[in-house]
Amino acid sequence: MTELAELPREALEAMAEAGREVRLCQRVLAKTGDTVVGELLRGHGTLYEWRHYPPGDVYDAEYHAQYYYHCHPEGERPTGEHGHFHTFLRPHGMPSGVRPAPLPDVEPPDSDNDALSHLIGIAMDVAGQPVRLFTTNRWVTGETWYKSADVVAMLDGFVVDHARPSWPANRWISALVQLFRPQIVDLLHQRDRAIARWAEDHPDSYVYEDRGLEVASQCFILVEEQIAEVERLLRGSRRRRPILPEPPSFVEAS
């Protein structure tokens, strides 16, 4: 489990600021009965399974951050979950020197900005609240594979700083990644370990395209618990946050 008490004060302060931003976005949306998910579905009529919302994804041409929302067929969703966000960063937004992992099937991209990396998945409940973070195998999103240390270095670059399709939704998801940055870092490292174990246990398959491995790592989250713990630590309290139950290993979340 991620131990927030071990973080430096500067990291906690950045998380506290992100928490205030998340709360602000949720508060202004709630005043009109809206949610972050509803913002992205607005005006699109029937919700179709697997379709990206908004169509064409959200892409910030300055920071090269990208995300979309989608949902699986109802029978394939974890209990209480509606759908999830997938978040990405494209090469022009990555730190200098970052390169894709040298895998045998990697081909040069059509464009120098095409080799995008998946950062984290954010599962949402039916009330429009984030409940779970997860990482995925490469085939799930068709990403280019980067080592976990390089993806960690990308996290601070995930910024969506424009008004369409929803200014509060863009600000919310940018801040949420920073609020839960320590958990995301842990999940990314767990992802690489899970990939390595799977490859060792299944020598006859190519792990990155093996449909048997979809979700590589995951954890439950609670926004208010995270914010409260950060605030306690900044006040000098070292009480541990409650331990949440682990999600079932069979959850599918692409």
pTM of the predicted structure, to 2 decimals: 0.91
Cβ–Cβ under 8 Å, residues 208 and 137: yes
**What per-residue confidence (pLDDT) applies to 44?**
87
Tell me the C-alpha distance between 162 and 169, whole Å.
10
Q: What is the DSSP string of 129-177?
A: -EEEEEEE-HHHHTPPP--HHHHHHHGGG----S-SS-HHHHHHHHHHH
The per-residue pLDDT for 245 is 59
Does 253 have pLDDT greater than 50? no
Identity (one letter) of the amino acid at 145?
Answer: W
Mean residue pLDDT of the chain comes to 93
Whether residue 59 is predicted with pLDDT greater than 70 in this model: the reply is: yes
Which residues are bridge partners to 59 per DSSP?
66
Helix ranges restricted to H, the chain: 9-30, 36-41, 138-141, 148-154, 167-179, 181-201, 223-234
> Cis omega (within 30 of 0) on the bond before 78?
no
C-alpha distance from residue 235 to each of 1, 7, 37, 141, 249 (Å) = 22, 14, 33, 41, 36
Q: What is the C-alpha separation between 9 and 111, in angstroms, rounded?
A: 40
Instruction: Report the percentage of the chain scoring pLDDT > 90.
Output: 84
Neighbours of 206 (CB within 10 A): 13
Please report the pLDDT score of residue 252 as a whole number: 46
Q: What is the residue whose two structure tokens read 């990291």?
A: 11
DSSP element (H, E) containing 119: strand 117-125
Residue 166's pLDDT is what?
97
Average pLDDT over residues 180-199: 98
pLDDT at 216 (0 to 100): 98
| Confidence band for 250, pLDDT divided at 50, 70 and 90 | very low
What is the DSSP secondary structure assignment for residue 246, as one 8-state letter? P
Summarised one tens digit per residue, pLDDT across range 104-134 is 998 887 788 999 999 999 999 999 999 999 9
Q: What is the pLDDT of residue 13?
A: 97
Cα–Cα distance measured from residue 41 to residue 53, given in angstroms and rounded to the nearest whole number: 6
In the predicted structure, residue 220 carries a pLDDT above the cut 80:
yes
pLDDT value, residue 61? 97
What is the per-residue pLDDT across 69-106, written as a single tens digit (0 to 9) for each? 999 998 888 889 999 999 999 999 999 999 999 999 98
| Mean pLDDT calculated for residue range 146-174 | 98
The span from the CA of 133 to the CA of 142, in Å, is 19
Tokens 């041409």, residue? 61
Rg value, the chain, Cα = 18
Q: Output the pLDDT for position 138.
A: 98
Is 122 within 8 Å of 149 (Cβ atoms)? no
Contact 129, 122 (CB under 8 A): no
Asked whether residue 40 carries a pLDDT value surpassing 90, the answer given is yes
